[in-house]
Amino acid sequence: MPLFLLGENVEIADILIYQDNDILVVEKPVNMPSQPDKTGDEALSSFLEKNLFSSGKKAYIGIVHRLDRPVGGIMVFAKNRRAAEKLSSQMKTRQCEKYYLAVVYGEISPPTGTFEDYLLKDPHRNVSRVVEPHHPEAKKASLSYRVLAFHPEKKLTLVEVELHTGRHHQIRVQWQSRGHPLYGDQKYGRGFTRGGQRLALWSYRLSFAHPQTGEYLTFTRKPPAVYPWILFEGYFRPQG
C-alpha cells in the first residue's frame, strides 16, 4: 500500500479494506482530512460519497469517528443511518477498541504504562494542553501504551497505544507533556521536529461490533514502508 498524499490520485480500490451493506472500512490517506474543514481540501468522507459507486450515484457516508489530518490508517464509516447510530453509540461508550502505532523521541521507561491527564482545548489555536484536574473546562484523557522497540542510534521508540478516551490531539499531547513528542509532530514537537517530517502516528487496529449482526470485528493495517517506520521493520512488516 503506497503512502497517499493530498493531491495524488487515490482510487477506492487503493484504500478499501472491507465493505458490506452497513459499513465501510478504509485506510485513510495521510494528510487528507477525515471530513470537510475550513481549508476546502477534499476530505475522505466527501471522496467516498462521490466515488463509492461507479454509477456516479452519491453514497451515504456516516462519520462516526475521526483521525487528525496528518494521521493515516484505519477508519470505519456507516453506509446507512441505522448503522451510523449504532456505531456512534459504540464510539461514545468506548465499546470499540482503538490501537495506534507511534514513533516517539527518546527511550521510554517503564515499557508499559497508563497516562491519565486532564486536557484543555484552545479552539482558536487548534491545540490542547495538559492542565490541573480542577480546571472547570478540562476533560480527562486516558491511554495505555506498550513499548515495541527502541532504536538506539536514532533515539526513537516504537510504541503501541490503546486509547481509552478520544480527546483532541490526545496521543500527541500526552506524549509531548512527558518529554517524548511524536516524530514529525509539527504542532507539538518544537525542539525535536524539523520541517518536512511527517507525523509518525498510525491507526493500525480497530475493533467494534457490527451494527447489524453484532459480530465483533477486528481490522488491522500496518504503516507504509517510509521513514521512520522502516527503522522498526523487524517488529512488523510495513506495507509498500
- CATH number for the domain spanning 57: value is 3.30.2350.10
CB atoms near residue 209 (< 10 Å): 15
Band (pLDDT 50/70/90 cuts) for residue 237 is low
7 in a domain, yes or no?
no
Q: What angle do CA 6, 81, 121 make, to 5 degrees?
A: 55
What span, in angstroms and rounded, lies between the C-alpha atoms of 42 and 131? 34
Q: In which domain, by residue range, is 199 found?
A: 12-231
The count of domains in the chain is 1
207 compared with 53, residue with greater pLDDT: 207
75 in a domain, yes or no?
yes
92 in a domain, yes or no?
yes
Region 221-229 average pLDDT: 94
- Residue 2, classed as helix, strand or coil, is coil
Answer yes or no: is pLDDT of 8 > 60. no
pTM: 0.91
pLDDT tens for 182-191 read 999 999 999 8
Q: Which pLDDT score is estimated for 67?
A: 95
State the average pLDDT for the chain.
92
Q: What is the CA radius of gyration of the chain?
A: 18
Answer yes or no: is pLDDT of 43 > 60. yes
Q: Which pLDDT score is estimated for 239?
A: 54
226 in a domain, yes or no?
yes
Candidate list 20, 37, 41, 68, residue with the active-site label: 68
Q: Which pLDDT score is estimated for 176?
A: 97
Band (pLDDT 50/70/90 cuts) for residue 238 is low
68 is annotated as an active-site residue: yes
42 in a domain, yes or no?
yes
pLDDT tens for 122-180 read 999 999 999 999 999 999 999 999 999 999 999 999 999 999 998 999 999 999 999 99
pLDDT tens for 18-29 read 999 999 999 999
Strand pairing category for 72-78 and 201-209: parallel
238 in a domain, yes or no?
no
DSSP 231: G
pLDDT tens for 194-203 read 888 999 999 9
Q: If we measure between CA atoms, which residue out of 82, 74, 78 comes closest to residue 220? A: 74
115 in a domain, yes or no?
yes
Cβ(100)–Cβ(144) below 8 Å: no
DSSP 35: S
236 in a domain, yes or no?
no
